[in-house]
Structure formats: structure tokens, C-alpha cells
Amino acid sequence: AATNRKDVLDPALLRPGRFDRQVTVPNPDIKGREKILNVHARKIPLGPDVDLRIIARGTPGFSGADLANLVNEAALMAARVGRRFVTMEDFEQAKDKVMMGAERRSMVLTDEQKEHTAYHEAGHAVVGLALPKCDPVYKATIIPRGGALGMVVSLPEMDRLNWHKDQCQQNLAMTMAGKAAEILKWGEEEVSNGPAGDIMQASQLARAMVMRWGMSDKVGNIDYAEAAEGYSGNTGGFSVSAHTKELIEEEVKGFVQQGYARAKQILEERREEWERLAQGLLEYETLTGDEIKRVMAGEPPHLDENDDHGAAAKEEETSVLAIPKTKPRKKPAGEGGLEPEPMA
């Protein structure tokens, strides 16, 4: 038998003599991911540039099913263009699809919506790059994917085994940077419902910090996450007084507000870089982590050698906001997506 919710099982099932051996099956580490990829990749022809170790390193947190889906999607990418073998580019596109959802290029956005999305996502990326304990930014896009109009994806450099308080606070700042960007650009009255997902993520992280991880001095080192009244909906556990609930909510709100204020300060200090990146996203739609850094520095993103504009772009000086006009990159996009506005 298998379950992801041991806490809701009937205790009688776990009495001695029934399910005596309990095995925890976490997501695979880098070595496990490489072995799983090797098993699934046996079924498809791989190009000479494919390195499964690199793919395993770039997929932290993927389950075995995620990796199987990744290989299948990569094979489909190659088949769509009539290629007889799968390349690293196919795997990159497949990873983007698995992580962020399929592109919805048929969804037509107005220029105003694109600009709103670009500044929102640029805010996430700039704050994430400014804070050293945030995961490296992997990719930013303003192409609608899944249920979001755009998103910034960060990937850890290695498998994460634990969280530290400073790390959590920096992640809260990156998560709230989208809303901070909208308010800085257009004011309080023009903020959209786009940050709804960001607010939910920030609230979940802040509640874990306060209620489970003991990172609040006022609440203390007590686990309130399993309390019966008002939070998890469990039938067991213990009750929490009204005063304690109020204190918990104050601390949760405090952590989120601190993250928002930190993000806003960073964007004010780095407004020039933020503007450059927003304009770059409007021009190119999707940028990788390295391309984001170059655009923020006022440089053009990496251009293909066969691009007619490549040589000229390298020679000319790039102004603060002038991103050289080139044809959009054909690679599809691949801790904060802007949600679509509700339909009228």
C-alpha cells in the first residue's frame, strides 16, 4: 500500500502485525535521476550532444514520473520537426513544458497586458538576482503558459535538504517582487490581480516559518500546524486560542510585508536594470538566466552566429533602454507567474 497522507490513515492500520515496515520514498537525488533517465532514454535514439548527467543536474525536485514525462516530451519535440534523434535542445524545451506548462501562443494579449506582465516578471528576476540566497534564475518569459501570462523560474544549484530563515526571507522578497514592481510602475490604484499566486505562495511560506519551523520569536518553538481549529482542518491535535491565532497572523503578515518592503527597496535601487530587463522581455519574450544578466547590464543577449545582426550588435554601443532589434529567439520559454485577468 502507498499513501502521501499518512496523517489521515486509521491508526488501526498501523498497529503492530499489519503494516510493520514503513518505507519513505523521497524524490530521487542527482544520481538517482541520472539512473532513471538512463532507463527511460534506452527507448529513444539520442543525439551525440545529449548528456544525461547535465539533465539530471538541471532537474532537482523531479520525481521518477516527471523524468519519464520529460523523456517522452523530448522525443515528441524531435518527432514534430522530423528529426530521427533527440538533442539537448529537445530536452531543454521538454523541461520548460514540464516545469511551466505548454505555451499558449494563440492567446492574444494587448500591448498593455504585455507591458504589465513584462514589468511584473522583470521585478521577480531583478530581486532574485540581487539576493544571494535565492535560487539562480533559470528563465523568464512573458509567453502565456499553463494558467499564467508569464513567469520567472528559479532552479537550485543542488538538491535542497533544508531551509534557513534568511533564505526564507529572501525568497519572500523575490515572491513579492511582482506586486512591488506593479505598484512602483503604475501606483497603488493600478495594481492588478496578477500577484494573486505570488501572495498565496508567500503566505504559505510565511505560515510554515511561523507555525511549523519556529522562526518567529513571538510565537516560539511550538508546532501549531496540526492544531485542530482554524488551520489544517484535522480532527486531531489541539485547539489554539484566539490570542494565539491573532499573534500567528500578525507574524505571518509581518514576514510577508518585510519581504514586500525589501523587494520594493531593491527595485527602487536597481530601477535602471529593472527597466532594461522589462524592455528586453517585451522585445525577446523569453530570456535565459545568462541572457537576463546581459540585458540588465545594457548588453544584447547572446545572438546566433548566423544572425545577420550579430556582428553589428557586437560593435555598436547599447544604450540603457535600447535593446537591439533582432528576430525573436525560437527556443520556447521555459517564484512568480502573473495570473490572467478575470473574464468580463
Catalytic residues: 121
Kindly give, in sequence order, each residue whose CB lies less than 8 Å from that of residue 168, ignoring residues fewer than 6 positions away.
Answer: 205, 209, 215, 255
- Count CA atoms closer than 13 A to 298's CA, side-chain side: 9
Report how far apart the first and last C-alpha atoms of the chain are (Å, whole number): 47
Cell of 232: 489544517
Phi and psi (nearest 5°) for 321? -110, -5
For the range 269-272, what are the long-range contacts, defined as Cβ-Cβ under 8 Å and sequence gap of 24 or more? 270/126, 270/130, 271/184, 272/320
**Sheet of strand 137-141, all strands in order from the earlier edge strand to the far edge:** 151-154, 137-141, 286-288
Q: Report helix, strand or coil for 137.
A: strand
Query: Cα–Cα–Cα angle for 124, 130, 132, nearest 5°?
Result: 110
Helix boundaries (H) for 81-212: 88-100, 111-130, 165-186, 196-211
Handedness of CA 286, 292, 295, 300 (dihedral sign): negative
- The full length of the chain comes to 344
